[in-house]
Amino acid sequence: MSKIIGFYDSGIGGLPYLEWLKNHTTGCSFRYLAESRYFPFGTKSEPEIKSIVIESIGRFIESEHPDIIIIACNTASVTALAALRQNYPIPFVGVVPAIKPAVAISRKKSIGLFATNKTVSQLYTQNLIDNFASGCRVSKFAMPEIVAFVEKNIFTATKEEIEKIITPAADFFKESGVDTVILGCTHFVYLEDTFKKVLGSSISVIDSREGVGNRAISLLENIKSHSDDEKGDMFFVTSAEKMPGNYKSISSRYGLSFGGEI
């Protein structure tokens, strides 16, 4: 008997969030769905993204019966989370930029937001800034091409290649005078260590793994262990024909069995 925790992302961005929860929970099984058919989200309109997410989550629920789902994608969360809660009765946890934690640790009240175009431009993101960072200067930098780089190359790229692709963002934040940078895209978490190195020790780098994980844990406390799970931890895709990364290899890195298409 266990509780099944579902994760959904446009690709592999949510796996570090899954890893955090695996390390902080017991009696849980994990199911991960990568939106391989429509990766990346950055080139699509908000109505398209909402439609894709609602449809895929519906198949995910029907197939795997998760007790809770983490929408481990900033773009999907700010676009479709409200609609998901209206359409399906299970709890959802979204991933949004860690504005409030960044403000709490910023010494100079000057923070940076590193995300995709969709997240940077979303009204939802601006509302977070207005509500929690009204007394701060927020410098935004969008670099959507990094999502594809991470999806396809993060485990094969050299340190030099990774440093090169994040240098424009690092230069922007250093010139902006920020002392804290938010990784506002789950894919960017894979770049955390290199990004910290390039930025230097005077600039903190944070993401929302801990906040999302703790929120999920609090919701799980109210869910009974009722799932008779024989599958174990699994990784699925929405299209087995379209897989931008080597998903079979990547899923095994996180202790997940590749389950094919949902």
Residues 107 and 180 in one domain: yes
Looking at the structure, tell me whether residues 186 and 104 fall in a common domain.
Answer: yes
Q: What is the mean pLDDT of the chain?
A: 93
Question: Residue 202 pLDDT > 80, yes or no?
Answer: yes
CB atoms within 10 A of CB 164: 12
Q: Which of 207, 222, 244 is the last residue of a domain?
A: 207
Considering the domain architecture, whether residues 21 and 144 belong to the same structural domain is answered as no
CA distance 182 to 188: 10
Q: Convert the pLDDT of each residue in 38-49 to its tens digit.
A: 998 877 888 999
Same domain (yes/no): 185, 114? yes
- Residues of the chain above pLDDT 90, percent: 81
Domain with 229, as residue range(s), is: 3-95+210-261
Question: What is the count of structural domains for the chain?
Answer: 2
pLDDT of residue 143: 85
Same-domain pairing of 133 and 85:
no
Same domain flag for 158 and 108: yes
Are the C-beta atoms of 74 and 96 separated by less than 8 Å?
A: yes
* Model pLDDT for residues 65-118, shown as the tens digit of each residue: 999 999 999 889 988 999 999 999 999 999 989 999 999 999 999 999 999 888
pLDDT of 217 reads 95
Please tell me which residue in 4, 68, 72, 73 is annotated as part of the active site. Answer: 73
The residues, any chain, with a CB within 8 Å of residue 78's CB and separated by 6 or more, are 94, 96, 118, 119, 122, 124, 125
Specify the pLDDT at position 222.
87
28 tagged catalytic: no
Do 18 and 40 fall within a single domain?
yes
Average pLDDT rounded to a whole number, residues 178-201: 95
Start-to-end CA span in the chain (Å): 23
198 with 112, same domain?
yes
73 is catalytic: yes
Q: Indicate whether 61 and 133 sit together in one domain.
A: no
**Cβ atoms within 10 Å, residue 120:** 20
Together in a domain, 89 and 67: yes
What pLDDT does 47 receive?
A: 93
Other residues' Cβ atoms within 10 Å of the Cβ of residue 226? 11
Please give the pLDDT value at position 93. Answer: 97
CATH number at residue 65: 3.40.50.1860
Beta carbons of 147 and 115 less than 8 angstroms apart: no
Strand order through the sheet with 68-71: 92-94, 68-71, 3-9, 28-34, 234-237, 257-261
Percent of the chain with pLDDT over 70: 99
Are residue 90 and residue 103 in the same domain, yes or no?
Answer: no
Choice among 78, 128, 185, 216 that is catalytic: 185
Signed CA dihedral, 45, 68, 124, 101: sign only = negative
pLDDT at 196: 95
**pLDDT, tens only, 229-239:** 778 899 999 99
Q: What integer is the mean pLDDT of 148-171? A: 94
In degrees, to the nearest 5, what angle opens at C-alpha 83 toward C-alphas 77 and 86? 130
Give the domain-ending residue among 164, 188, 207: 207
pLDDT surpasses 90 at 262: yes
| φ and ψ of 228, to 5 deg | -85, 90
Task: Give pLDDT, residue 244.
Answer: 75
84 and 113 inside one domain: no
Last residue of a domain, one of 179, 207, 235: 207
pLDDT of residue 117: 86
Tell how many helices (H) and how many strands (E) occur in the chain. Answer: 11, 10
| Rg (alpha carbons) of the chain, rounded to whole number | 18
